[in-house]
Amino acid sequence: MSRPEHIAPPEIFYNDDEAQKYTQNSRVQSIQAEMTLRAIDLLSLPDSPSFLLDIGCGSCLSGEILSEEGHIWCGLDIAPSMLQVALERDVEGDLFLQDIGDGIPFRAGTFDGAISISVIQWLCNADKAANAPGVRLRRFFETLYASLRRGGRAVCQFYPESEQQTALIMQIATKCGFGGGLVVDYPDSKKARKYYLCLVAGQPDAPVALPQALTGEEESGVKYEGRRGAGGAIRNRDKKKKGKAEQGSREWVLQKKELYRKRAIPSRPPPDPLTSNNLKTSQYKVYTRPTMSSLRNAVSRRNHKERSQPLERQKFGLLEKKKDYILRARDFHRKQDYLKKLREKATDRNPDEFYFGMMTEKTRKGVVVKDRGNTTLSEDALKVLRTQDAGYVRTMRQIESKKIERLEAELHVLDDETPDAHKGKKRKHTVFVNDESHAKTFDAASHFDTHPSLVSRSSNRPRLDQLESVSFAPSNVEMDERKIQKEREARLRELDARTQRGDMLRKLEKETVLQRNLQGKGARKKTGVDKDGTAVYKWKQERKR
């Protein structure tokens, strides 16, 4: 099973689904609670409440343990989805979105101690070229050292990938001023082994005595089960001893309201003050406090409109404001001054001068050629881009085909007695009658049941009942023949151009798909060329595993 830090950065790996799974998993909750209680023991805190920092708090499973122990805390995490789950769970600590690789953003001497559960191994993974593990670890430990009071402790539980990684973390922590060492619980067990980095802010005169490591799994289980209690009875009893109100009581509702006011969370319309009906935390959202507006915003002011151009100059758009002219003039003069300095440097250049940049740069026809930092894309990235190109070309071809269909329909409406484009003769509609007398008295309009002005049409000849139900523009019926012919020729030219464009897009789509397939694996052989001039390949059939 691969480690999470090898799959994706933490802010991407812990998305909405992964954050919900992590928080609702009972095994994860149990392991997290056990490691948090062990970290609190290693801190050796006094009996009074302390102000602690939870580094990489996630959904605040460890923060709840700190609250149960009576401590005040605040948490940092880089994953927004995990912090959103923590807000929905209504934890008591303050939460901050922060990458610990960029440092701990608190003033010096703020915290009495700090804990970190399964976090600092993420700093050893370089998911970007700029993320050097050594630099990020040093920045983290330096700012953590500064944020702790003199003699404050920090306990960081982590899962090292190798002994070299453990040595790197301890070496950088020592260089940043920390004392202490590494406590390994259950060193003989591969499954239950836990690493705790116990740090003390400031190098004391006497060596720091590290806590005793645990060696038996049964001891740990009995110890922490006794502290947490069975079925939550002891936990609830401890809460009552520490002055926490029972859920659903009036005091509990008032405490919640006070907590929301401190966090600047808007409340719903006030419910019954003596009950807690329908108090759902999912209806609250975090927002910043509104700033005080200036008094000038309360005074009505005149809205100044843009100055319009004279009628003969309207094609040039709106008149330019003076502030826009000033910006444009400054930009123009800045470029002119820069070009002037370049000309002076070129004039005063010594052809025999030497500088060390010449050893790393090269010129081509008198022009300095530099590397722009463009990286070569991998085959997988190129294949994805080819897929996107093929999808775009396919979409444009479909749009073009719809336009062609619409033009053909319009040409069908505009069809009249014009010479046939292919045969060079007028179209005819032959009607057979019984005898010559019937032919002399034959009325085409009554025979076709249409308007007399539409009889000369060879197609698109609606009947009278259709003319009554459908509104036709009389200008289309009685339009001048020359105007109809001109419009029809324009539509034919457009139809011809769009047909050629559709053929070109179809050919381009075929070539793009072929290039994407050629980037794949498998033996292939060129069998010929199709009618569009595109090469045709045949792939060797391979049995799928």
Mean predicted lDDT score pLDDT of the chain:
79
Query: Which residues touch 413 (CB under 8 Å, ≥6 apart)?
Result: 460, 476
Cβ neighbours, 10 Å, residue 353:
7
Q: Looking at residue 318, what is its pLDDT?
A: 73
According to the CATH classification, is domain 4-244 in 3.40.50.150? yes
Q: What's the Rg (C-alpha) of the chain?
A: 40
Residues found in the chain? 545
Q: Is 352 helix (H, G, I), strand (E, B) or coil?
A: coil
Give me the mean pLDDT over the 317-339 stretch: 90
User: Does 183 score more than 80 pLDDT?
Assistant: yes
pLDDT class for 133, splitting at 50, 70, 90? confident
Q: Looking at residue 412, what is its pLDDT?
A: 65
Give the whole-number percent of the chain exceeding pLDDT 70: 78
Query: How many angstroms separate the Cα of 138 from the Cα of each of 120, 324, 491?
Result: 12, 48, 71
pLDDT class for 327, splitting at 50, 70, 90? very high
Cβ(158)–Cβ(195) below 8 Å: yes
502-510 CB contacts, 8 Å cutoff, 24+ apart: 502/397, 502/400, 502/401, 502/404, 505/393, 505/396, 505/397, 505/400, 506/397, 506/532, 507/532, 507/533, 507/534, 508/393, 509/390, 509/393, 509/394, 509/397, 510/534
Angle, CA of 206, 211 and 217, to the nearest 5°: 165
Which has the closest alpha carbon to 58: 30, 101, 91, 102? Answer: 91
User: Does 52 score more than 90 pLDDT?
Assistant: yes
Highest mean pLDDT among 377-381, 506-510, 515-519: 506-510
Tell me the C-alpha distance between 149 and 45, whole Å: 13
Q: Looking at residue 263, what is its pLDDT?
A: 65
Alpha helices in 95-176 (DSSP H): 133-147, 163-175
Highest mean pLDDT among 293-297, 352-356, 475-479: 352-356
Give the whole-number percent of the chain exceeding pLDDT 90: 15
Query: How many angstroms separate the Cα of 58 from the Cα of each of 55, 77, 103?
Result: 9, 6, 17
Q: Is 399 helix (H, G, I), strand (E, B) or coil?
A: helix
Q: Which of 176-185, 414-423, 430-439, 505-514 comes out lowest in average pLDDT? A: 414-423
pLDDT tens string 151-162: 889 999 998 888
